Structures are given as structure tokens and as C-alpha cells.
């Protein structure tokens, strides 16, 4: 396939073409030529789009679909279509399906279902069997099948010895362990952030301490065992400080933050809108400021939409009974541009590959085309018509956005 992108402004500080507006010729999935006013004979498609910008492909390291088991929420195919329309060329799939992705066969199955799509799917295997937190899953077998990390999605590893064993065992094949940062005995039956708003609304709170205590424990175990630890979706000011200090002390730890935890506080809970019920919960203004600072200074290694489709029967009900989670792929780019510059937004959307040992794309002649296409200037209000997911549970409904995504080019395929 021969593609010609016309007048595309390249946003990639690692490229020699950074901030230049040029034509990009792609043949059979490889960037063959970059230059001014290129003339290509017998081109299959010439792409001219308003205010076209291009960056290396975006990645999201924490995405949930529904298949297998919850196909009514999202199938793998529609989920990958949604990722493509949202500008993502690569996603890491969480193991929270039914059955749980906890063995070689389950990893092989989800990877095979995505093999022909323009979006590349990477699989995260469960850390424990059936994500029950009792016995380690088949980590090495899943690693050989292609799993890039191991963690029980939104379920903390409550038993400290189990985390110790996992970190020790995974070192045999340079595997990375994920540990969700919440002490459930402290969190109890909490629903939202513990604080003034939870008291005012009469909702049971999840103390910031529940997250921070778990991180202190996990870092102590990591210091003892060695190995690689990833702490997904931190949400408090002290969590940032704890991980910053751990990195200064030489621990091999990384962490992520959700996009919605950078934009919303628990002040939005006044209407008891279940779209705002997420885990970790929305915290305070001071937490948001610390998270943004931590992302900018590199303490927080990557961000994620934490895309979690939930069907209407489990979301449009009483706040106490609604499931946690929001979709987020479609809103990621437009939301981030409300708080960051374009270059910062692209930087954050492309971070995380190195930690998961995923090859970094390049925008140079002779390299594989792994590109996200977008226009950064358009402002609009996010509504249901902007949702491509099967589920509609977006925390960003009626939120003012900036920037439009055109699609992606990846794996010698195009989704525009």
C-alpha cells in the first residue's frame, strides 16, 4: 500500500523533522520519504486533512475491554476500533475478563483476536490465579506467550509474602509485577475520597492513607527483593512523594496516573453522578497539583485513560451500587490539551513503552510507520456523539475539549 500524507506538521522532539510541515510517503508500512511537495506515481491514497499534525503513535498502558465474558460492554474488535479513532496505535489490555486472563491459553487467545488490527494489543496477565490473591498465576508461561506484565486489575495484593514471591520469581525472566495501591482493610466499604465532600454528601470515604500505606509496604518489599515493580494509577500527593523518594534511593519502580485524576476533584460528586465513580477515587485540588507536577518532573512515568467500559445496567443505578470506571480513549487527547501544551500532551501520550519493553517508534526515513494523526486547535464540548465505545460511561460528558483526532497509520494499515 502506498500512502502520501500531505502537509503534515511533525510533532516529535526525537525526530530530525520536529515542528516541520512536510509530506510523508509510506510504502508497505515503511516511511520511504519525507520532504516538501513530494510527487509520487500511482499512490493508493493521498491524505489531505485540515491542519494535519502527526506524531509517533500513542500508547495506553491500562485499557479494559469486555471480551471474553462481558462482550455487551466491549468486544476486542470494537475496542481496538475505538482506540484507533482515538489516536492510539498500541494498548495494553488488562486481565479483568471472565474468565480472568491468567494462563498461557488466555494470553494467546486475546493476542490472536487482535493480530489483524491496525492497533497493536499487548496483554497483561493476572498476577494470581483468577485474580483471587491466593496463589501465583502461571507467570512464566504467560511471559512466553507474550504477556508484558502481571497484575490483578484494581485488586491489591493483600498478602505481602505473595508480592515478595512474585517479585523474586519474575526476576528470572526480567518480568514486571504490578501492584494496585490500596489497602482494602483501610478502604473498607468506602466509595469516594474521604474528606469534606464525602462527609457533606453522606458517602463512605476511602482515605488517601489506604493508598499510601499500600505503597509504603510495596516499596519496602521491593527494596528487600529487588525486581521491577509498577504501581498503576496513583492518586494522592503523598503517593507522588513516596515514589519520588524511592526512585532517588535506586528502587526499580514506576507508576502511572489516570487522565481524569488530573482534571477532576471530588467537588464534582455533588450531583451523585455515577459517571464520576472511579477507582482510585477523585481526590482534592492539592492532590491534582501534585500529580501534574509529578508527571512533568518524571516521577510519574506515564499516564493512562484507564478505559473501562461499563454497561448501563451497572452504571445508571444508585451511586452506592454502581460499578467503578469510565471510558477514556476517545476523550484522552482533547482533555489533556486543556491542561498541557500540545508538545507536552504528545510527550505524555507516547510515554511508557520503554518500561514495558515495547519498541519505540521513530519518524525518520526507513522506519516502520507508527503514526497518530490529529488537529490540535478545534474546541468543542464532548458528547455522546463523540463516543465510539459500546458503553457510554464517560466521566468527560459535557466537558470542554480541545483537539480533534483523525486516526492512525500502523502495521501497514490505516484507520482514518
Catalytic (active-site) positions:
306
Helix (H/G/I), strand (E/B), else coil: 97: coil
Of 224, 246, 223, 249, the C-alpha closest to 234 is 246
Between the CA of residue 55 and those of 262, 345, 369, 398, 407, what are the distances in Å? Answer: 23, 11, 10, 27, 11
DSSP label at residue 129: G
Burial degree of 171 (CB within 10 A; 0-12, 13-18, 19+): middle
Bridge partners of 30, per DSSP, are 27, 368
Torsion of CA 284, 345, 234, 193, to 10 degrees: 30
* Pair 376, 337: CB distance under 8 Å: yes
Q: Which of 158, 132, 263 is nearest to 217 (CA)?
A: 158
User: Is the separation of the CB atoms in 92 and 124 below 8 Å?
Assistant: yes
Compute the half-sphere exposure of residue 360: CA atoms within 13 Å on the CB side of its CA. 13
- Rounded Cα distance, 321 and 73, in Å: 17
Q: Answer yes or no: are the C-beta atoms of 4 and 43 closer than 8 Å.
A: yes
Amino acid at each position: 500500500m502506498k500512502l502520501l500524507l500531505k502537509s503534515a506538521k511533525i510533532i516529535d522532539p526525537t525526530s530530525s523533522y520536529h515542528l516541520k510541515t512536510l509530506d510523508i510517503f509510506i510504502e508497505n508500512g515503511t516511511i520511504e520519504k519525507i520532504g516538501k511537495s513530494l510527487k509520487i506515481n500511482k499512490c493508493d491514497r493521498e491524505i489531505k486533512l485540515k491542519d494535519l499534525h502527526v506524531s509517533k503513535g500513542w500508547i495506553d498502558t491500562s485499557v479494559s475491554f469486555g471480551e471474553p465474558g462481558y462482550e455487551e460492554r466491549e468486544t476486542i474488535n470494537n475496542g481496538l476500533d475505538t482506540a484507533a479513532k482515538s489516536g492510539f496505535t498500541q494498548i495494553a489490555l488488562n486481565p479483568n475478563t471472565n474468565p480472568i486472563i491468567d494462563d498461557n491459553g488466555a494470553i494467546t487467545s486475546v493476542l490472536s483476536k487482535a493480530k489483524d488490527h491496525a492497533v497493536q494489543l499487548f496483554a497483561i496477565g493476572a498476577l494470581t490465579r483468577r485474580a483471587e490473591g491466593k496463589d501465583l498465576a502461571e507467570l512464566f508461561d504467560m511471559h512466553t506467550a507474550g504477556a508484558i506484565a502481571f497484575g490483578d486489575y484494581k485488586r491489591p495484593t493483600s498478602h505481602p509474602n505473595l508480592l515478595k514471591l512474585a517479585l523474586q520469581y519474575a526476576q528470572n525472566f526480567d518480568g514486571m509485577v504490578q501492584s494496585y495501591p490500596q489497602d482494602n482493610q483501610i478502604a473498607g466499604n468506602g466509595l469516594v475520597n474521604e474528606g469534606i465532600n464525602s462527609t457533606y454528601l453522606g458517602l463512605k470515604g476511602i482515605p488517601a492513607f489506604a493508598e499510601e500505606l499500600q505503597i509504603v509496604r510495596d516499596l519496602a518489599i521491593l527494596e528487600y527483593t529487588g525486581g521491577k515493580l509498577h504501581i498503576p494509577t496513583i492518586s494522592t500527593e503523598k503517593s507522588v512523594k513516596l515514589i519520588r523518594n524511592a526512585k532517588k534511593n535506586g528502587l526499580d519502580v514506576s507508576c502511572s496516573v489516570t487522565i481524569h485524576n488530573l482534571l477532576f476533584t471530588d467537588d464534582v460528586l455533588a450531583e451523585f453522578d455515577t459517571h464520576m465513580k472511579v477507582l482510585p477515587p477523585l481526590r482534592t485540588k492539592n492532590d491534582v497539583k501534585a500529580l501534574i507536577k509529578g508527571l512533568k518532573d518524571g516521577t510519574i512515568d506515564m499516564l493512562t485513560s484507564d478505559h473501562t467500559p461499563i454497561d448501563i445496567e451497572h452504571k445508571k443505578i444508585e451511586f452506592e451500587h454502581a460499578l467503578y470506571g469510565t471510558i477514556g480513549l476517545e476523550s484522552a487527547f482533547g482533555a489533556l490539551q486543556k491542561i498541557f501544551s500540545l508538545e507536552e500532551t504528545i510527550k505524555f501520550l507516547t510515554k511508557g513503552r520503554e518500561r514495558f519493553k515495547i519498541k519505540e517508534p521513530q519518524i525518520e526515513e526507513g522506519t516502520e510507520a507508527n503514526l497518530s494523526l490529529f488537529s490540535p486547535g478545534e474546541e468543542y464540548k464532548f458528547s455522546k456523539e463523540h463516543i465510539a465505545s459500546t458503553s457510554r460511561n464517560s466521566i468527560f460528558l459535557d466537558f470542554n475539549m480541545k483537539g480533534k483526532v483523525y486516526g492512525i497509520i500502523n502495521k501497514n494499515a490505516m484507520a482514518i
